[in-house]
């Protein structure tokens, strides 16, 4: 398995499309903060829009763009005219809610929904995905100056820090993302038997393809720069793949920084620098996240004891595992298992 597949395996995601918005300008939607373990998303099917997230620069959206809010932040989508929006009317259909207005300006068509995370996914998402992600099914998004500088710095340090995968793979990802969006649109329009279930399954595929596409977009968040500080930034850095695969595939091993650096044929300091440049975190922090996600997965999916799980994820004693788990989540493994109804 590749690094992105390993990560997604620790982050099972389902989803649902809740609203189809068919608006004429001027229009605006302003969702509030999402519930815990929910990631709002929007797919722009037709027209243009502007995304605003507090503390971030506005992002212009084009048809085929997918917006994810991994931290569940409140945000606004609007037509960009600055005019007071027309009031929207909602009607229930078989599968979702349809929101329409009486605006006579340029038309925008959106699918709005949310990805639903498992309990083990939340910490990894908040630690290693940015506040917002915008991925495109039709073109490469512009990189920010900040991202360009980070890439230039990495290149001048003489390390094979990025994987220059040819454009063919990226074009294939864009095509599949566009086809998936088209299928979601058809299911939402036609509302055939089982459409709700089909759309739910398609949402899981949308999440995976969107992250794959984001990992190929340097800067990954629509040109806002924060995408350079995510786990996605590591997915195509070939020089770091041996260390990443070692941590994902064998988290139970007592990995040291010199051992991980040796796998990548680089010094300990260089390994740390590349991880921190890409993700803002050290290899040790990523290894801890992987161990805790794996531990939560085992607690939820098996009846194994805390002592057995501790050994499986790399702790020499149950006491050390209990301390690490409580520091990570604020509760003991037993209370975490009980809170999830296990």
217 prior amide bond cis, ω within 30: no
One fold for 3-229 and 239-339: no
Residue pair 41/199 in contact by the 8 Å Cβ criterion: no
Query: pTM here?
Result: 0.83
Sign of CA dihedral 327, 331, 334, 340: negative
Along the 342 residues of the chain, how does pLDDT read in single tens digits?
Answer: 688 888 888 888 889 999 999 999 999 999 999 998 999 999 999 999 999 999 999 999 999 999 999 999 999 999 999 999 999 999 998 889 999 999 999 999 999 999 998 888 888 888 788 889 999 887 554 443 333 333 333 333 434 454 444 467 778 888 999 999 999 989 888 888 888 889 888 998 999 999 988 887 753 333 333 444 677 878 778 899 999 999 999 999 999 999 999 999 999 999 999 998 888 889 999 999 999 999 999 999 999 999 999 999 999 999 999 999 999 889 999 999 998 876
CATH number of 3-229: 2.60.120.280
Please provide residue 110's backbone torsions phi and psi, each rounded to the nearest 5 degrees: -130, 150
Q: How far apart are CA 175 and CA 171, in angstroms?
A: 6
- Hey, where are the domains in the chain? 3-229, 239-339
Return the CA Rg of the chain. 21
Q: How far apart are CA 210 and CA 136, in angstroms?
A: 8
Q: How far apart are CA 75 and CA 70, in angstroms?
A: 12
Residue pair 77/50 in contact by the 8 Å Cβ criterion: yes
Q: Quick one: CATH architecture of 239-339?
A: Orthogonal Bundle (1.10)
β-pair partners for 92? 97
């Amino acid at each position: 398995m590749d690094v992105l597949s390993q990560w997604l395996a620790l982050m099972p995601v389902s989803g649902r499309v809740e609203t189809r918005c068919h608006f004429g300008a001027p229009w605006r939607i302003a969702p509030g903060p999402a519930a815990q373990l929910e990631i709002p998303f929007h797919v722009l099917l037709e027209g243009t829009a502007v995304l605003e997230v507090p503390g971030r620069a506005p992002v212009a959206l084009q048809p085929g763009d997918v917006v994810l809010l991994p931290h569940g932040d409140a945000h606004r989508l609007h037509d960009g005219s600055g005019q007071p929006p027309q009031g929207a009317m909602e009607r229930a259909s078989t599968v979702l809610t349809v929101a329409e207005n009486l605006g006579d300006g340029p038309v925008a068509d959106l699918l709005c929904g949310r990805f639903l995370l498992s309990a083990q996914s939340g910490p990894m998402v908040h630690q290693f995905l940015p506040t917002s992600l915008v991925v495109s099914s039709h073109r490469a998004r512009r990189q920010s100056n900040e991202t360009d500088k980070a890439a230039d710095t990495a290149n001048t340090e003489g390390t094979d820090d990025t994987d220059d995968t040819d454009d063919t793979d990226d074009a294939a990802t864009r095509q599949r993302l566009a086809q998936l969006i088209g299928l979601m649109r058809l299911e939402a329009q036609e509302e055939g038997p089982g459409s709700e279930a089909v759309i739910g399954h398609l949402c899981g595929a949308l999440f995976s393809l969107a992250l794959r596409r984001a990992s190929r977009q340097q800067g990954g968040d629509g040109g806002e720069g924060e995408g350079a500080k995510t786990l996605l930034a590591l997915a195509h850095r070939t020089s770091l793949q041996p260390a990443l695969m070692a941590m994902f595939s064998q988290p139970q091993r007592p990995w040291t920084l010199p051992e991980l650096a040796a796998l990548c044929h680089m010094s300990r300091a260089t390994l740390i620098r590349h991880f921190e440049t890409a993700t803002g975190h050290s290899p040790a922090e990523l290894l801890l996240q992987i161990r805790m996600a794996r531990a939560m997965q085992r607690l939820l999916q098996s009846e194994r004891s805390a002592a057995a799980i501790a050994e499986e994820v790399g702790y020499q004693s149950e006491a050390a595992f209990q301390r690490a788990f409580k520091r990570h989540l604020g509760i003991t493994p037993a209370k975490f298992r009980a809170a999830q109804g296990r």
